[in-house]
Structure 1
Amino acid sequence: MNKLLISLLVSVGITGVAHASGDAAAGQSKVAVCAACHGANGNSAVGNFPNLAGQNEQYLLKQMEDHVSGRRTIVEMTGMLDGYSEQDLKDIAAYFSSQPVVIGQADAEQVEQGEAIYRAGLADKGVAACSACHMPSGQGNDPAKFPALSGQHPEYTLSQLQKFAEGSRDNDPNGMMRDVAGKMSEAEMRAVAQYIRGLN
């Protein structure tokens, strides 16, 4: 059932393309406040803050919109988007999406397990492969608003998996990530997070 739902959502995302209509050049002048945590080009120097560089434009826009509307609570971003228009958010998303992500070094001891989960899932637990939505190379699916994962900090990835598992983050479509993360052990989450850091 999970695989069917994922397939349907991916198909709907691909056929229901809606562009974010952001202007990357305009966005560059609007990201000064973002740079303190995410880096001027979207590559964060601190693992607790996500890399935004190379992230899918529509996914970034959705997360900012969800935060502004209260659909997603990001404590560290409280007040950060106040005063920004919808077009500003589109421009910021376009700017960060256009920047190259810096791929990191994965923990060699966890790569094998992490890759197995990312590419094949956990059949005995009913966990679909991460690559089904986030693609084999980790570029995600922009029309479906599924995020790119390639190069993401393991600390951030782990924290988001934990939040989905406990339900404190719930802005995933149809509870997909809550279902997946809720069936994973912390060790499995850590392995996947490490693998994603070096995924290219």
Structure 2
Amino acid sequence: MKRLIAGVVLGVGLTAMAHGAGDPAAGEQNAAVCAGCHGQGGGKPVMAVYPKLTGLGEKYLFNQLVDIKSGDRSVPEMTGLLSAMSEQDMRDLAAYYNSQDMVVGQANPDLVEQGAALYRGGNMATGVPACAGCHNPKGIGNEPAGYPALGGQNAEYITKQLQAYRAGERATTANAGIMADVASKLTDAEIEAVANYVSGLN
């Protein structure tokens, strides 16, 4: 019986390790290098075009770190910053930032109505799906699918990324390919409106 219990405990432990769950406490130790751009705790970037890292989803954050480290996603400002980090280091970092609360911004009131309509209903005339379908009506994302939480993110950052998707600069993964297709159908005005709406979504 003791062997059976020990086997179960060991099996559960090995399963957890196989999934590579991140340790937020360990991740905090590696977060100092990120604070220069993303702010203490990752929620108050020094520039609005830098993303808030808080609460985006552990899977999404980890996948982005992997892509940036490998060069599949080009972020010149992060060149070399991840070079010494192991896969577990990046999982820990993702877990740390995901455990932090998102600081919600203030949406531009002149763009809220248009942004809300696009986020919640898309644009049937041009084939743009509702953002809420993947990113949740409340903007909290879909962790199992690796879709990030968007609510509270800087409007300037969302605008920059949608433009990058539209230009084909972020289309290296299946999820990025989905976003590239969606963004290709968005006008500049729609991008501005939905980015502003998202910034105040909570």
Judge same fold: TM > 0.5, yes or no. yes
Give TM-score scaled by structure 2 length.
0.88
User: What's the CA shift string for 1:151-184, capped at 9, x where partnerless?
Assistant: 0001100000000001011134261111110000
Q: Tell me which residue corresponds to 2:55.
A: 54
Residue equivalent to 1:160 = 161
Structure 1 gap ranges (5+)? 1-17
Partners of 2:19 and 2:121 lie apart in 1 by 31
Equivalent residues, number: 183
Deviation at 1:191? 0.2
Could you report, residue by residue, the CA deviation over 1:74-108 in whole angstroms, capped at 9, with x for unpaired residues?
11111111100111000000000000010000000
Cross-structure match for 2:150: 149
What amino acid is aligned across from residue 42 of structure 1 in structure 2?
G
The one-letter code of the counterpart of 1:187 is A
RMSD over aligned Cα, in angstroms? Answer: 1.2
Instruction: Give the partner amino acid of 1:102.
Output: V
Moved more, 111-120 or 162-171: 162-171
Structure 1 pair 114/19, CA: closer, same or farther in 2 (3 Å)?
farther
Deviation at 1:19, TM superposition (A): 5.1
Tell me the TM-score normalised to structure 1 length.
0.89
Distance 2:172 2:200 in 1: 26
Q: Partner residue of 2:117? A: 116
Is the Cα–Cα contact under 8 Å of residues 36 and 46 in structure 2 kept in the other structure? Answer: no
Provide the residue aligned with 2:186 in structure 1.
Answer: 184
Paired residue secondary structure (1:108): coil
**Superposed CA offset, 1:119-158 (max 9, x none):** 0000000010000000001011111111110100011000
Contact 1:133 1:146 in 2 (8 A): yes
CA distance in structure 2 between the partners assigned to 1:64 and 1:171 by the alignment: 14
Q: Is the 8 A contact 2:108 2:196 kept in 1?
A: yes
1:20–1:57 Cα contact (<8 Å) kept:
no
Q: Which residue of 1 aligns with 2:13?
A: none
Higher relative contact order (CA 8 A, sep 6+): 1
Identity of aligned residues (%): 51
C-alpha distance in structure 2 between counterparts of 1:173 and 1:146, whole Å: 11
| Stretches (4+) displaced over 4 A | none
Name the CA distance, whole Å, in 2 between partners of 1:19 and 1:45.
33
Deviates more, 1:102-111 or 1:171-180: 171-180
Distance 1:20 1:136 in 2: 29
